[in-house]
């Protein structure tokens, strides 16, 4: 868990990103937050309430204590920089898309995407979710077509 601070303030007033990384699957969750939030208190409350466990925070500005979060933040910042022109200063609205892209990209250390490690299957991308206006052939029709 770590924070990306010093980002341009959006219309919703957020100027930081709370980065939460699962060390096993490498999946990450990016939450837009205000810098006025107490990071330590938020983290302790969130973990205690949701998971019933204690959290051990790494020291700020000592990346060697939390290498996984630091690497994730580096990738997150690269992704945001690559898209910042299209976001028009509203990066917080597009953070879920950046998270989706991150969690569905291949990670060498686990030999798969974090989504696949977490759910045991590959993610169905939105490109395949649209409905065609043409009627879909049924399985028996496809089989008959292949045999002909």
Residues comprising the chain, all counted: 148
Helices H, strands E: what count in the chain? 5, 3
pLDDT at 146: 59
**pLDDT (0 to 100) of residue 112:** 93
Instruction: Supply the CATH classification number for the domain 2-147.
Output: 3.30.420.10
Residue 83: Cβ within 10 Å count: 14
Is residue 117 over pLDDT 90? yes
Contact (Cβ atoms closer than 8 angstroms) between residue 30 and residue 95: yes
Tokens of 94: 């597009």
Q: Give the confidence band of 47 by pLDDT, cuts at 50, 70, 90.
A: confident
Give 114's pLDDT tier (boundaries 50, 70, 90): very high
Q: Where are the domains of the chain?
A: 2-147
Paired residues of 4 in beta bridges = 17
pLDDT tens for residues 52-79? 655 555 555 555 545 667 778 888 887 7
Binned at pLDDT 50, 70 and 90, residue 42 comes out as: confident
Q: Quick check: 30 pLDDT over 60?
A: yes
> CB under 8 Å to 29, separation ≥6 — which residues?
19, 20, 21, 99
Q: How far apart are CA 145 and CA 148, in angstroms?
A: 5
Tell me the C-alpha distance between 27 and 114, whole Å.
5
Check residue 83 and give its pLDDT.
66
């Amino acid at each position: 868990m770590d924070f990306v601070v010093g980002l341009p303030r959006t219309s919703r007033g957020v100027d930081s990103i709370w980065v939460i990384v699962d060390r096993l699957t490498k999946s990450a969750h990016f939450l837009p937050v205000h810098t006025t939030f107490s990071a330590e208190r938020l983290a302790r409350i969130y973990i205690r309430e949701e998971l019933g466990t204690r959290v051990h925070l790494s020291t700020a500005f000592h990346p060697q204590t939390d290498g996984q979060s630091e690497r994730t933040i580096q990738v997150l910042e690269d992704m945001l920089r690559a898209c910042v022109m299209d976001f028009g200063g509203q990066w917080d609205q597009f953070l879920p898309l950046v998270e989706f892209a991150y969690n569905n990209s291949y990670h060498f250390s686990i030999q798969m995407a974090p989504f696949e490690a977490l759910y045991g299957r590959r993610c169905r991308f939105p490109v395949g979710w649209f409905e065609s206006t043409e009627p879909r052939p049924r399985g028996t029709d496809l089989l008959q077509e292949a045999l002909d």
